[in-house]
Amino acid sequence: MSKFDVLTVGNAIVDILARCDDSFLTENGIIKGAMNLIDAERAELLYSKMGPAVEASGGSAGNTAAGIASLGGKAAYFGKVAEDQLGAIFQHDIRAQGVHYQTKPEGAHPPTARSMIFVTADGERSMNTYLGACVDLGPEHVEPDVVAQSAVTYFEGYLWDPPRAKEAILDCARIAHENGREVSMTLSDPFCVGRYRAEFLDLMRSGTVDIVFANKQEVLSLYETEDFDLALTKIAADCKLAAVTLSEEGAIIVRGDERVKIDAFAIPELVDTTGAGDLFASGFLVGYTQGRTLADCGKLGCLSAAIVIQQIGPRPMQSLKDAATREGLL
């Protein structure tokens, strides 16, 4: 029996979302569809060029935790904000969703992280993230009891960007495994994989990570190949279980020799892809921790992703549990 179904760990970020034309991305050197890391100076410059925006709590693993709670799962989160208004917003939103979140903000500088997310007409989101207070996350923020009591501990590959978060993750993984729990990660972003390929592969091959989430581009980047089938074979060998999302083609789950293909849910309108991968992980992990079949885990993931991409912002504004119940998945 675990107190939490899933503990997620990630960069605690408030999203600032606005629409833009594709030409805006080109003119400002923003890689489309990617997470572009920026410093404070570039954050100010880009904000001065950004159109009117809306704000919403985000952060990949934060979104996953919120999605798990929205599906009725028990979730916990570790991530670092500052003592400022954006930090208060982040804390409010994740706690109001029912997620255990106790990481203490310590001072107002650097400020709470924000990501300026530009959404183009095709619904694709291009992120520009200033890490702010996230750079302070370290092993001292690990709550050992929470790790020990979580069926799965899940973290972002993005955590390899700030300096000391990986130390926290290695502590989490050790505690989780000592308590017979599982450890999961998302590869986060193809460029993130490019930055930390060797370390991510080592996490998998050393057994530090059991379950891997990725999209097609990230898996191809991980194995530096264009051969998706080969990449799937390789990831199946490197970890116990991998769930690979394929945008409008759904997802494929690989476990040893087993491969389970899931179709995407048809949606009337794609509004904003922000949070799609994060919410897939929510749905999958809720199914997984309930002991459901891989096919049903995948369906829960695809449904959760389908719901979040029909709105602006990364956290569903409706109850995912109700939606999953209507679909007969919960």
Residues of this chain that interact with its own copies (CB under 8 A) are 16, 19, 47, 50-57, 66, 84-86, 89, 92-94, 96-97, 111, 312-313, 315, 317
Nearer to its own copies, 121 or 198 (CB): 121
DSSP E strands: which ranges in 179-278? 182-186, 211-215, 241-245, 251-255, 258-262
Nearer to its own copies, 37 or 94 (CB): 94
Question: Least separation, in Å, of the C-beta of 20 and its own copies?
Answer: 11
Contact criterion met (CB below 8 Å) for 76 and 146:
yes
Number of H helices, E strands in the chain: 12, 14
Question: Least separation, in Å, of the C-beta of 55 and its own copies?
Answer: 4
* Residues composing the chain: 330
Within 10 angstroms of residue 281's Cβ, the number of other Cβ atoms is 31
Question: Least separation, in Å, of the C-beta of 301 and its own copies?
Answer: 20
Nearer to its own copies, 13 or 192 (CB): 13
**DSSP character string of 148-183:** HTEEEEEEEGGGGSSSSHHHHHHHHHHHHHHTT-EE
**Tokens at residue 145, please?**
């009891």
Nearer to its own copies, 30 or 242 (CB): 30
- In terms of C-beta density within 10 A (0-12 exposed, 13-18 middle, 19 or more buried), how is residue 195 classed? middle
Question: Least separation, in Å, of the C-beta of 323 and its own copies?
Answer: 14
Q: Say which residue the tokens 């255990």 belong to.
A: 100
In three-state form (DSSP H/G/I as H, E/B as E, the rest C), the secondary structure along 58-75 is CCHHHHHHHHHHHCCCCE
Nearer to its own copies, 17 or 251 (CB): 17
Question: Least separation, in Å, of the C-beta of 46 and its own copies?
Answer: 11
CA geometry: angle 73, 78, 80, nearest 5 deg: 140
Question: Least separation, in Å, of the C-beta of 185 and its own copies?
Answer: 25
Nearer to its own copies, 19 or 32 (CB): 19
